[in-house]
Amino acid sequence: MEIYVALLCVAVVLWLAWRWKKLSLWQNLGIPGPKPNLIFGNLLELYEKGPLKCHEEWVKKYGRVLGYFYGMKPVLLVTDPYLLKNIFIKDFNKFINRQAFNPLHQYIPKDERSQTVLILQGQAWKDIRGVLTQAFTTARMKQMSGSMKSSIETMLEILQEKAQKGIVFDILNVYQRLTMDIIIKTAFGIQTDVQTNTKSSLLRAIKLIFNTPYRDAITFIG
């Protein structure tokens, strides 16, 4: 029995040492950032405050370039305009892929959500992006302006009605509906009631596509 306990203790010590070495990456590289939790990295703070709030606080505290951990996944946060210009333009070929929503995505059966331009990577992303680019030329964008204006006018009418009635509402929900209305009109040429119908099944379906289950975050911890 003592042997098993000793082996377990050794395994735990080795795991903790490996874990700490991984979480010391940014410190060893001289890049500032929030101190990670040994188990969760900076996940707890990100979920408690939200990414936007955390990023804002961290940039103020650690500067325009900082590092943190999404579970065990190291993340370099860059807000310096000069570096961003290099990343997105000059050195674009070295930063071709977005972060995978799930680090085990290549082992998970494909579904509709895994085939969108926001998630695809490599050549598959390039093929889809090439098709989409043709839809956003200057001439086509001008043609879309009428539909965009119509959607915005609908939103303003909704806001005016709520203001007159003194209704407290979530502006994020209003903007989400506006965004969906514009995309559906301009991309598919379809008229919808997504802004005026509070029980729109279309909006619920779209939200389902983009909502990442919390269980997926667990895979980042390991």
Token couple for 94: 């070295």
The amino acid at 139:
A
**In the predicted structure, residue 88 carries a pLDDT above the cut 80:** yes
The top-scoring range by mean pLDDT among 3-7, 108-112, 121-125, 173-177 is 173-177
Q: What is the mean pLDDT of the chain?
A: 80
**Which string of DSSP letters, residue by residue, matches the chain?**
-HHHHHHHHHHHHHHHHHHHHHHTHHHHTT---PPPBTTTBTHHHHHHH-HHHHHHHHHHHH-SEEEEEETTEEEEEE--HHHHHIIIIITGGG---PPPSSTTGGGSPP-GGGGSTTT--HHHHHHHHHHHHGGG-HHHHHHHHHHHHHHHHHHHHHHHHHHHHT----HHHHHHHHHHHHHHHHHH-----TTT-TT-HHHHHHHHHHPPPHHHHHHHH-
- C-alpha count within 13 angstroms, C-beta hemisphere, residue 55: 11
**Which string of DSSP letters, residue by residue, matches 160-220?**
HHHHHHT----HHHHHHHHHHHHHHHHHH-----TTT-TT-HHHHHHHHHHPPPHHHHHHH
Q: 115 falls in which pLDDT band (50, 70, 90)?
A: low
* pLDDT for res 214: 46
Cβ atoms within 10 Å of 77's Cβ, excluding its own:
18
Domain boundaries, the chain: 1-95, 103-135, 140-220
Model pLDDT for residues 13-65, shown as the tens digit of each residue: 887 788 888 888 999 999 999 999 888 889 889 888 888 899 999 999 999 99
- C-alpha count within 13 angstroms, C-beta hemisphere, residue 86: 5
* pLDDT for res 209: 64
Cα 127 from Cα 135, distance rounded (Å): 14
Model pLDDT for residues 141-152, shown as the tens digit of each residue: 787 888 888 899
* pLDDT for res 109: 53
* pLDDT for res 171: 86
Model pLDDT for residues 116-142, shown as the tens digit of each residue: 666 777 777 777 777 777 777 778 778
**In the predicted structure, residue 9 carries a pLDDT above the cut 80:** yes
Cα 3 from Cα 93, distance rounded (Å): 53
Q: Tell me which of 77 and 9 has the higher pLDDT.
A: 77
* pLDDT for res 215: 47
Q: 67 falls in which pLDDT band (50, 70, 90)?
A: very high
* pLDDT for res 56: 93
